[in-house]
Structure 1
């Protein structure tokens, strides 16, 4: 499941992934939030938190994740990944060179620092 998080600046799409993430989660939550943010702003930031109860992505969800990132490749200003799931952190580090904006990963214990960084 993907939930949008409140209390972030307007140009920040803030989400948390819990349990199993599906393509439907992307279609109903993340994609509309990203599209709305891009209608209002030329550059958008994303706060992407993976909760401790995260169990994985459906294959269709992984494709949607890739598509959303690549579709707006040059318009991402900052990406904050907050997770203790090492394979996700390593995947982001592996592909961060493709992102023109800043990317930074944080542990769940550093979530407050990540929120401050993404909003700064």
Structure 2
């Protein structure tokens, strides 16, 4: 399941992943919110939090994530991934160079720092 984090300033989107994330979660929550935000602003910042209750992605969700990132490849200003999930951290470290915009990885205890980094000029 994906839910939007709503207490972020304009131009910063946030999403929290819980349990198993499916393609339907991406298509019904994340993609419409991101597309609407890009319609209003050409550069966005994104906070993605996969906390302790996150258990993984379905293959379709991973594909939807890749498609969304590539569709707006020049539109991402900053992206913060907040997680302590080992395999997700390893994948982010390995592929961070290919992520659009400026990318930083944070642990769950650093959620406040991730938010601050995203809202700072």
Same fold (TM over 0.5): yes
Structure 2 residues not aligned, in runs of 5+: none
Instruction: Name the counterpart of 2:43.
Output: 43
- Partner of 1:19: helix, strand, or coil? strand
The total of aligned residue pairs comes to 120
Contact 1:11 1:44 (C-alpha < 8 Å) held by counterparts: yes
The equivalences for 1:1-120 within 5 A come to: 1-120=1-120
Q: Which shows bigger deviation, 85-94 or 52-61?
A: 85-94
- Partner of 2:15: helix, strand, or coil? strand
- Partner of 1:55: helix, strand, or coil? strand
The offset of 1:32, in angstroms, is 0.6
The offset of 1:99, in angstroms, is 3.0
1:40 & 1:108 partners in 2: Cα distance? Answer: 30
Structure 1 residues not aligned, in runs of 5+: none
**TM-align CA RMSD:** 1.0
Contact 1:51 1:83 (C-alpha < 8 Å) held by counterparts: yes
| Higher share of residues assigned strand | 2
Structure 1 stretches of 4+ moved >3 Å: none
1:9 & 1:81 partners in 2: Cα distance? Answer: 17
Contact 1:83 1:106 (C-alpha < 8 Å) held by counterparts: yes
- Partner of 2:74: helix, strand, or coil? helix
